[in-house]
Homo-oligomer: A and B are copies of this chain.
Amino acid sequence: MARVVLGMLGLGTVGTGVVELLARHRHLTLKKVAVKSLDKDRSAMPNCPLTTDVDEIINDAEIEVLVEVMGGENPTVGYLERAIKKRKHIVTANKEVLAKHGPRLFALAKEHGVAIFFEASVAGGVPLLSTIHKGLEANEIESIMGILNGTTNFILSNMETGKSYADALKEAQDLGFAEDDPTADVDGFDVAYKLSVLSALGFGYFVRPDTIYKEGIRNITEEDMALAKEFGYRIKLLGTAAKGGSNGNQGFDVRVHPTLVPVTHPLASVSGANNGILVRGHAVGQLTLIGPGAGKLPTASAVVGDLMNLAGALKLPDFASYFQPTIEASPASAAPPDHWKCPFYLRLVVKDTPGVIGKLGTIFGAHNISIATIIQRGAEGREATVVILTHDVLGKDMNSALAELKKCDFLSSLGNAIRIFRSA
């Protein structure tokens, strides 16, 4: 096979895995790796030349492909732009840069005749992007949904043993599964970036991440976990990207929120740091993919897979036209949540006065909300917990019902309102 010379930005967990996997592919020659500091102990990789000067890679004409595994938005996006202008192909694991700057980067790559490969940016080792782009080529993709963040899935799985959110987060941080600042994971930003990338591939539009509805897992309590289990559900942070928004042609339902998933559903069996994704195509129906969503070798396997596919294709003239997905130059916006329909789980803390259930029923009825199950628990004459499972509800109807509830004297606090799984 023809030799292809690579440069790499970043040598963290994934970068180290890439170096390890490249050892068995001698035609892929890693010429130089840019790192933040040369002081770190890298004795495990004696043959990997390092530099702190990114320009040494970007300006090296012999380097044909830039592997970007440094992450983050800045300064990374600037490095990628300059590398593309120097006609280097890009293999990246960076969902944030793609979600925020994808349309521009892809246009720039087209202009300069290079390709951007990005399998590792979503779902780690699960070859989800190639499945959507090539495996389901004959399908109009209707929806993509699932568990796309291993950190929150680990925390939620851990909370099922009765731990609080704070304790489960702490444990994930101690084990290296969660960052010191866990915001990107636990507040849904990471999943939103991935949904933007998946929308680009599945629907042809990057969806602006700031328009994506994001509800994280910080408010999930031990009580919610226990109640979900009692009713036959597990709580998972699900990302959904589906066609059919209420926002015109470019409207898509793209959203991240905790979801009660029935224990019998394949997604409920996705535990720990794994990812699990349902893809629906007009001809194939529904596919389920489950596998490692993160980790050194699984993610590196996606990066090196891209490198091998790219290297094999490089000699084909005009190959980018075959390998690059068609993505619109302007991003789309996600539709607002008002028109999604799904059942809800509600946990309310109420003063135990006579007639509360009746009042709740009246309020929900007035907002087109039909109740499937309602139970009340608690000592008489004190605060009680009311748990309600509804039938399908429009987001706007639930919002107006909750707004009215909050004004009621009998409500001590709105414990939680969490969506229940519904096929996209």
Contact = CB atoms under 8 A, between A and B. Distances in A.
Interface stretch (A58-66, A125-133, A155-163, A252-260): A125-133
A232 interface: no
Contacts of A119: 135
A134 B309 contact: yes
How many copies of the chain does the oligomer comprise? Answer: 2
A44 interface: no
A379 interface: no
B285 A291 contact: yes
A301 interface: yes
Contact of A134 (B126, B287, B305): B305
A304 B408 CA distance: 58
Contacts of A313: 322
A99 B291 CA distance: 29
Interface string A276-290: 000001011111111
Interface string A296-307: 011011111101
A292 interface: yes
Contacts of A315: 318
A75 interface: no
Contact of A136 (B127, B136, B139): B127
A220 interface: no
A301 B283 contact: yes
> Which of A300, A307, A322 has the largest number of chain B CB atoms within 10 A?
A322
Contacts of A319: 316
A298 B283 contact: yes
Contacts of A25: 138
A127 to B, nearest CB: 3
Contacts of A322: 312-313, 316
Given A269-B264, A289-B287, A316-B317, A301 B139 contact: yes
Contact of A291 (B137, B288, B317): B288
Given A284-B292, A287-B126, A318-B316, A301 B266 contact: no
A166 B290 CA distance: 35
A308 interface: yes
A301 B140 CA distance: 10
Contacts of A284: 125, 291-292, 297-298, 301-302
Contact of A125 (B285, B305, B307): B285
A342 interface: no
A50 interface: no
6 contacts: A17-B283, A130-B131, A134-B309, A136-B301, A138-B301, A269-B269
Given A127-B287, A266-B290, A316-B318, 5 more contacts: A125-B285, A266-B269, A285-B291, A288-B288, A317-B317
